[in-house]
Amino acid sequence: MKVGALKEIKPGEARVALTPDSAAQLQKLGHECLVQSGAGEAAGFNDATYEAAGVTVVADAAALVDGADIVIKVREPEEAEVKRLRAGQTLISFFWPAQNEAMLDAAKDTGATVIAMDMVPRISRAQKMDALSSMANIAGYRAVIEAGNNFGRFFTGQVTAAGKIPPARVLIVGAGVAGLAAIGTSTSLGAITMAFDVRPEVSEQIESMGAEFVFLEFDEPAQDGAATGGYAAPSSPEFREKQLEKFRELAPTTDIVITTALIPGRPAPKLWTEDMVKMMKPGSVIIDLAAEKGGNCDLTVMDERVVTENGVIIIGYTDFPSRMATQSSTLYATNIRHMMTDLTPEKDGVVNHNMEDDVIRGATVAHAGEITFPPPPPKVA
Ligand code: NAD
């Protein structure tokens, strides 16, 4: 079948869903590949590199969608993109069906099938297709790099002829995929790194990466925020108070805070409050990875770099993966390629959309003129 990658239309989005390498792998599955001219330019893949990989470069979006059986892209589609789809065609991209009901309805009306990369179940067999994790990993890494770019000192301590330099003190709040990537990057740069999560089971992972787990002490056994399925649940008021108390204690000596706390389906919990920002030294940096969901810090402004009156820099960018477009495109295109492998079991260029398969079923949000979201819970872990 013909797999065609669209150029992203969201301003500033630099990623692309197909790379010359992923195209080569798709061809081994028996597919033909198309790419819209210029789609990979901002990620470092120009038209010539695709052509050299046997990909047909198509002039514009309309021609691309016309010529493709499977349309692939990164961002959730906009109305104009959905309207171009037709029955029998498949779109694979991020989609966020719970937040984009109108778009899901419009997609259903076209009769096309939609596979939402954000709906791939987080089960072991599907890890190779887990684009949320591959993007969160990049966001965690980039958060530290961005912090370093805004911080006026070294991460690592040094003793030099010109004086002794203390190491930076970094606190990571939330040790999921993005948080663990941030911990790894921060410790490898030599900062004293501390990390906190409501799931105490991550303390071992945090410590194995060279960071210190921030423990909360309770007189009674804690009712913490740990919950089902490896995801966090909202914390009890007592737990939250203890957590904020601990953060207030750490704020005056912490140089960099990276917040990644997320509870699925809820606004980001407010964990770094205005008074904590005021306690921080001038030149300190906060990177709020949860900015898109309202932010973990009271003073975050989405997509902005804010400098507070006391000189603390707060970054609420929501496009960290796009800021590393070559890396993120490579990983995302690989996630898509793995999805295509599962959709092409005979490697004969024929897609078998098997709705009995937990992963394919979980990610399919529209199929044959029906909305198929939300999916039933997966049968196997
Ligand atoms: P994840 O679910 O793997 O991790 C979130 C972590 O937060 C979990 O470990 C959870 O236990 C923890 N948490 C929840 N409530 C907490 C609390 N009160 N205190 C401390 N920890 C708490 O999610 P992820 O994939 O690592 O993504 C993290 C965040 O990064 C999300 O908000 C995601 O949307 C965001 N993100 C941002 C960008 C960007 O460019 N800004 C890119 C990718 C992801």
Instruction: State in Å: Cα 17 to ligand 1 middle.
Output: 24
pLDDT at 227: 46
Instruction: State in Å: Cα 239 to ligand 1 middle.
Output: 18
Instruction: State in Å: Cα 259 to ligand 1 middle.
Output: 8
Pairing of strands 285-288, 256-259: parallel
CA-closest candidate to residue 214, choices 252, 265, 169, 250: 250
Check if 205 has its Cβ closer than 6 Å to any atom of ligand 1: no
Q: Which atom of ligand 1 is nearest to the CA of 142?
A: 40
Mind listing the pLDDT tens digit for each residue in 358-376? 999 999 999 999 999 999 9
pLDDT at 25: 98
Check if 177 has its Cβ closer than 6 Å to any atom of ligand 1: yes
Instruction: State in Å: Cα 286 to ligand 1 middle.
Output: 15
d(CA 186, CA 169): 9
Mind listing the pLDDT tens digit for each residue in 327-352? 999 999 999 999 999 999 999 999 99
Q: pTM for the whole thing? A: 0.94
Mean pLDDT of 120-145: 97
Pinpoint the alpha helices (H) of 236-324: 237-250, 274-279
Which residues carry out catalysis? 122, 127, 130, 133, 231
**CB-CB neighbours of 224 under 10 Å:** 19
Whether 22 contacts 31, CB under 8 Å: no
Q: Token pair of 59, please?
A: 């002039």
Provide the CA 214 distance to its chain's centre, in angstroms: 25
ipTM of the complex model = 0.94
Mind listing the pLDDT tens digit for each residue in 221-241? 555 555 444 556 677 888 999
The string of DSSP codes covering 235-251 is PPHHHHHHHHHHHHHHG
Q: Which atom of ligand 1 is nearest to the CA of 243?
A: 19
d(CA 72, CA 92): 5
Mean pLDDT of 284-305: 97
pLDDT at 228: 42
Which residue CA neighbors atom 44 of ligand 1 most closely?
Answer: 136
When pLDDT is cut at 50, 70 and 90, the band that residue 75 belongs to is: very high
Residue 100: φ, ψ to 5°:
-125, 55
When pLDDT is cut at 50, 70 and 90, the band that residue 8 belongs to is: very high
Residue 175 has pLDDT above 50, yes or no: yes
